[in-house]
Structure 1
């Protein structure tokens, strides 16, 4: 198989971003290159056309490669539900929740089997594969049953490029230490090094490049700059702080409740393009302040995160905000948290049958959790009772357990293309609940909602910012920037050689 595997000396060194750039660079040269990650751990997921779940990073990488994402690009997705348990999504469908120990003991052979099957499928249908590793390849306590790094490189029989993050410091030690901890046959598979997140004058690192190549015998393929505001959707919560660290101090103060098991927080990334918006992530009551609006995002463990809100006193602050006419939007798990009552009938959210918890009571509804998860892409229009443009299309996707039934006659938010009424809309949009992820990626809707806030504050209304026009261009910009700092011809030779050196 032609291809390469991008591994890292640690988590969050930039593997996902580099794979995204490589996918676009290869696509620009007419090479049909598929992204692949054997096992992803993230609550930030992507819904394929056939209603399956994969890691969001692989969905984005496929878009960069100008391909339609499929489950073969990420056959195993682990979605954390607690500190010790994760839901296993197997070929796009949730099958079971395991503890870390049980997963390692019971799932290894099944994991190897589906990884082989996925690689065979990609080999038959694509010119090359760009594989992303996970964490570090030399976690000694996990190596005997790992299915994310060198074992995958061996199954695919592709060379490895090792990436290190210079921004966190200790780059020489992490590279040399990682190589030293590899087995000889693993070490032989490493065909190149990439230094990522470099700041400042590259000429100051030339001696470092020479030392690394002499010390390791492995060529340095590039020293990549720290890419600010790249606007490529982040993969998981490790990237959340980085992704939103440069949020502007705009006049519109929007608070996002940072839930412990937050999922699909990329729902909020469009606000980074709005010049007058300040997006604040709030974990504790002391950080709450007096926001113009609150967004409660999705979560993988709704009742657990609801209880966390109550323990921290954030529930009372949100309720007081709503009682005084403040705007609030709940998306997916956030919608469920705003309800009057949550009933875990099947034990699918808490593990306890018929467990009941009081919600925040901002929406007169009961959410009941069933066993089956609903996953699909959605097209809809604003419900006629909302007073919003009835012919304006809204696009997104659903990933949720549970069904929410409104007990009082209020307005639904959307009418889906199958005629189903969805969500909750009250007081001219003061309170909104919906299962629709990517709601704020709809530029006209986001502008309408922000103009509601601007009108309340007595400031000038704005025209929409059409971020959808930037989507493909951001891949081009990223690829161009990365390519200019790579030994691209040498890397292409590594990719084309099709096996280890």
Structure 2
């Protein structure tokens, strides 16, 4: 089990890299995260919902993702409540205190999934959540040491030296563990190191002497490294290339599945920017309204920050608008939540650009999709996925440019305004497909008829291979051999 001294210490990346390295050594390996709190999620091959990081780790293992890889997923709907998803299916929203009491029940789901995986694979790489030193959450813990103790799992502790205070993080975390938990930690990995390793060596020697535990590796800072984020939003963009299209995405308080935009962030000809809703909207080619875990609240946040006026001005000057999932719902006439799926029951008037309305329902749609995108007088294949609990109906939904092939036959998704400047869809992951990405860039106003090809999956594979090579070089050889021998 990989646990971290903090969030974003490198747990997900360490598991993904180890998974690819072990796969290359012929080990049947699978990822597992007992409990994940994230708004970036994926639809699994068995039709459920798990955290995006576990879907990426499954790819690193050469596997289709499965709900057993992340049996408990929490999707925050507010500062004190979250949708609770068990074995890929939503149970409903719970307040934080209610879920704290429910964890004893959730533990049964966690152990059942882990047992099924253990019967199928040689090695399970388990990812913790947050930090094991969050002593206020120790009771009924299923995310970190509570799980490790329950299944008698050894633990590796990873810390991010780029944040500073790495020795304090590691020693302090150990000090806050119980004696049995402390004994469970078999060693440390230090992540994102820059500079001359010889200058760090005295600290490493002190750490091993102080704790009696080995440093299993110091991983270098990787420039231009990018994999799907579990939750954090970063505005950093790769440099280089002529920027021919400017894209803006407002950061909503409950933005979800912002991994949709990774291909745009990485594309050498796209100037991509996340923007605070309170900021002025600069001149740009395309504004994308993203998915949201609390659509009514996030729409109100946009309205409170004058986004109807901002979008009116953007459209008046020839800009395009794309709404994805929650963004699709916001572009309609109103959103009704009679059962309080995302908070107090009620409704809100939408932005009103497209003639349809949405009702939030209890049944969540979870589908991997494929079909044809008909745009720019062309028809190209697309792949994507749906994760939403809204049913959207109205005349504008008849103008969907996505022809979806499914068990129910051919259906249409989304809406395109009469002037062709506003496009809405429930499909996540559209930019992942190179041909779909190209057509959407052209629709958005790309300044060339031949945008550079970019394939996100090819990029993922290259980054996973890069991780495996770096880990092979910088992690303790005997420890890696022990993992491969299990």
For residue 339 of structure 1, give the secondary structure of its aligned residue in structure 2: coil
Structure 1: where are the runs of 5+ without partners? none
Deviation of the 1:85 alpha carbon = 0.4
CA distance in 1, matches of 2:245, 2:363: 39
Residue of structure 2 in register with 1:191 after alignment:
186
Residue of structure 2 in register with 1:290 after alignment:
283
- Pairing partner for 2:353 from 345, 362, 366: 362
Structure 2: where are the runs of 5+ without partners? none
Deviation of the 1:445 alpha carbon = 1.9
Deviation of the 1:346 alpha carbon = 2.6
The 5 A counterparts of 1:65-214 are: 65-105=61-101, 107-214=102-209
Alpha-carbon contact 1:78-1:88 (below 8 Å) kept: yes
Residue of structure 1 in register with 2:19 after alignment:
23
Residue of structure 2 in register with 1:402 after alignment:
390
Q: 1:25 to 1:409 in 2, by over 3 A?
A: closer
Tell me the alpha carbon deviations over residues 137-162 of structure 1, each in whole angstroms, 9 at most, x when there is no partner: 11111112211111111222121101
Alpha-carbon contact 1:7-1:134 (below 8 Å) kept: yes
Tell me the alpha carbon deviations over residues 205-227 of structure 1, each in whole angstroms, 9 at most, x when there is no partner: 11111111111110000011122
- Pairing partner for 2:236 from 217, 227, 245: 245
Alpha-carbon contact 2:247-2:271 (below 8 Å) kept: yes
| Alignment coverage as a number of residue pairs | 481
1:489 aligns with 2:474: no
Deviation of the 1:309 alpha carbon = 0.6
Residue of structure 1 in register with 2:3 after alignment:
7
CA distance in 1, matches of 2:485, 2:132: 23
Tell me the alpha carbon deviations over residues 32-91 of structure 1, each in whole angstroms, 9 at most, x when there is no partner: 111111000001001111210011111110110111111111100000001100000000
- Pairing partner for 2:229 from 234, 244, 264: 234
CA distance in 2, matches of 1:10, 1:375: 31
Alpha-carbon contact 2:381-2:436 (below 8 Å) kept: no
Deviation of the 1:9 alpha carbon = 0.8
- Pairing partner for 2:400 from 388, 407, 412: 412
CA distance in 1, matches of 2:292, 2:230: 15
CA distance in 2, matches of 1:296, 1:235: 20
Residue of structure 1 in register with 2:314 after alignment:
321
Q: 1:287 to 1:195 in 2, by over 3 A?
A: farther
CA distance in 2, matches of 1:329, 1:409: 14
Alpha-carbon contact 2:255-2:293 (below 8 Å) kept: yes
Alpha-carbon contact 1:193-1:220 (below 8 Å) kept: yes
Residue of structure 1 in register with 2:460 after alignment:
471
Alpha-carbon contact 1:163-1:195 (below 8 Å) kept: yes
Moved over 4 A (4+): 494-497
Residue of structure 2 in register with 1:254 after alignment:
247
Deviation of the 1:427 alpha carbon = 4.5
Tell me the alpha carbon deviations over residues 222-281 of structure 1, each in whole angstroms, 9 at most, x when there is no partner: 011122332311101xx212xx41354834211011111011100000013321211111
Deviation of the 1:95 alpha carbon = 0.7
Alpha-carbon contact 1:221-1:491 (below 8 Å) kept: no
The 5 A counterparts of 1:295-374 are: 295-352=288-345, 355-374=346-365
CA distance in 1, matches of 2:147, 2:343: 33
Q: TM-score, normalised by structure 2?
A: 0.95
Q: 1:143 to 1:496 in 2, by over 3 A?
A: farther
1:275 aligns with 2:268: yes
Superposition RMSD in Å? 1.8
Residue of structure 2 in register with 1:433 after alignment:
424
The 5 A counterparts of 1:445-460 are: 445-454=436-445
Alpha-carbon contact 1:164-1:175 (below 8 Å) kept: yes
Residue of structure 1 in register with 2:35 after alignment:
39
Deviates more, 1:424-433 or 1:199-208: 424-433
Alpha-carbon contact 1:247-1:279 (below 8 Å) kept: no
CA distance in 1, matches of 2:69, 2:92: 20
Deviation of the 1:409 alpha carbon = 7.7
Residue of structure 1 in register with 2:373 after alignment:
382
Alpha-carbon contact 2:75-2:83 (below 8 Å) kept: yes
Deviation of the 1:286 alpha carbon = 2.8
Q: TM-score, normalised by structure 1?
A: 0.92
CA distance in 1, matches of 2:308, 2:418: 21
Tell me the alpha carbon deviations over residues 330-369 of structure 1, each in whole angstroms, 9 at most, x when there is no partner: 00001111112111133213331xx121111111111111
Alpha-carbon contact 1:36-1:74 (below 8 Å) kept: yes
CA distance in 2, matches of 1:272, 1:82: 27
